[in-house]
Amino acid sequence: MTVTLEVATDSWPIEGGFTIARGSRTHANVVVATLREGAHAGRGECVPYARYGETVEGVMDDIARLAPEIARGLDRAGLQQAMPAGAARNALDCAFWDLEAKRGGTTAAALAGLAEPRAQITAFTISLGTPEKMAADAAKAASRPLLKVKLGGEGDDARIAAVRAAAPQARLIVDANEAWTEALFARNMAACQEAGVELIEQPLPSSADGALATLERPIPVCADESLHTSADLERLAPLYDAVNIKLDKTGGLTEALVLARKARAMDFRVMVGCMLGTSLAMAPAVLVAQEADYVDLDAPLLLAQDREPGLAFEGSLLIPPGPALWG
């Protein structure tokens, strides 16, 4: 039976906006690929990201371009060679997983040879802002067990101190989104150490992260923008202690599972993260998150409205998706 492809885009408002070192956003703009075969449909969602040269229009075109190949029998295995890693392949890869599960009357976890997923604690993100604004946001989230604090370079020592004072019991991880310089590194690292931060994500630009080989890092440092696929791990091994796996960077669940296994074998700590998407984008990542040291799949909690059905959360506890959502 022929598999047909549909591509659509949605925009979802973010509650209160979202700010990182590279700028601010008010909406999460996503692309959804749907594969249909008879009565069965599989969906996958991706988030095109300008940092990697992606646009919504370009990603939609890249996905739609494969419609004839899919109709002629291109499958998930063939997709890995037909398209490079990135958001477009992620949407299609996850749609293939969902379609395979629904067609076979099973689950994506079973198809991957994994146990059925368990509920996981996710980090909750505090957007970049003034120390006062970040302290107010942290105070509202102080009962959550794990906060992820967005930093921005100059002034980060004051920001992280303010967040720690406002949320004294929460575990903290931080994400600089490439905003630190070598000159700021020691001061900001010391401030994070004073605040009891457990992990620092991508402090230096990916183009300058070779400096991490000689900089003291008393807190583990995690690669995000510097990591896309398992092919990157050899270069990153001397520089980073952890890696952040995002399906929009790996090009889908298929490569994300390979990357996670290789990273653990190389003694990296593993975080599973996300772009700003809906529950449909988070659902496949829940499978990778099962063996992760840190889970950061809170995007639906940051939206003013999520798709229905969506993931269920009990505070910061993420409940695995049901088949009506994905997988």
DSSP per residue, 84-136: -SSHHHHHHHHHHHHHHHHHHTS-HHHHTT-PPP--EE--EEE----HHHHHH
Arithmetic mean of pLDDT, 133-149:
98
- Distance between CA atoms of 32 and 47, rounded to whole angstroms? 9
Nearest 10 degrees: CA dihedral of 219, 258, 76, 101? -90
Strand spans (E) along the chain: 4-20, 23-37, 40-46, 120-121, 124-126, 146-150, 171-175, 197-201, 221-223, 242-245, 269-272, 294-295, 313-314, 317-318
Q: Is 148 a catalytic residue?
A: no
**Domain residue spans in the chain?**
4-105, 120-318
CATH superfamily membership of 120-318: Enolase-like C-terminal domain (3.20.20.120)
pLDDT tens readout for residues 61-76: 999 999 999 999 999 9
Active-site hit among 102, 148, 150, 249: 150
- In the predicted structure, residue 224 carries a pLDDT above the cut 90: yes
Matching fold, domains 4-105 and 120-318: no
Nearest residue to 90 (alpha-carbon basis) of 57, 133, 43: 43
Q: Indicate if the alpha-carbon torsion angle 251, 119, 299, 235 is positive or negative.
A: negative
CATH of 4-105, one of 3.30.390.10, 2.40.110.20, 3.40.50.720, 3.40.640.10: 3.30.390.10
pLDDT (mean) for 243-256: 98
Q: Indicate the SS3 state at residue 306.
A: coil
pLDDT band per the 50, 70, 90 thresholds, residue 20: confident
Mean pLDDT of 202-215: 97
Q: Are 274 and 250 in contact (CB under 8 A)?
A: no
Work out the mean pLDDT of the chain and round it to a whole number: 97
Inter-helix orientation angle 156-166/182-194, to 10°: 10
Of 20, 98, 141, the closest CA to residue 326 belongs to 98
b/e map of 47-86 (b: 16 or more CB within 10 Å)?
bbbeeeebebeebbebbeebbeebeeebebeebbeebebb
Q: Is the pLDDT of residue 130 over 90?
A: yes
User: Which residues contact residue 162 at a Cβ distance below 8 angstroms, ignoring those fewer than 6 apart?
Assistant: 131, 132, 134, 135, 138
What mean pLDDT is predicted for residues 139-160?
98
**Whether pLDDT at 1 is above 90:** no
Mean pLDDT of 34-62: 97
- Is 23 a residue whose pLDDT tops 90? no
What percent of the chain is predicted at pLDDT more than 70? 100
Q: Answer left, alpha or beta for residue 177, where phi above 0 means left and psi between -120 and 50 means alpha.
A: left
Give the pTM: 0.96
Nearest of 318, 257, 266 to residue 291 by alpha carbon: 257
Residue 24 pLDDT class (50, 70, 90 cuts): confident
Sheet holding 294-295, edge to edge: 124-126, 146-150, 171-175, 197-201, 221-223, 242-245, 269-272, 294-295
Active-site entry in 102, 148, 246, 249: 246
User: Going by C-beta distance under 8 Å and a sequence separation of 6 or more, which residues neighbour residue 322?
Assistant: 309
Instruction: Return phi, psi of residue 272, to 5°.
Output: -115, 120
**Letter for the amino acid at 236?**
L
* 262 carries an active-site annotation: no
55 in helix, strand or coil?
coil
Residue 105 predicted with pLDDT over 90: yes
pLDDT at 274: 97
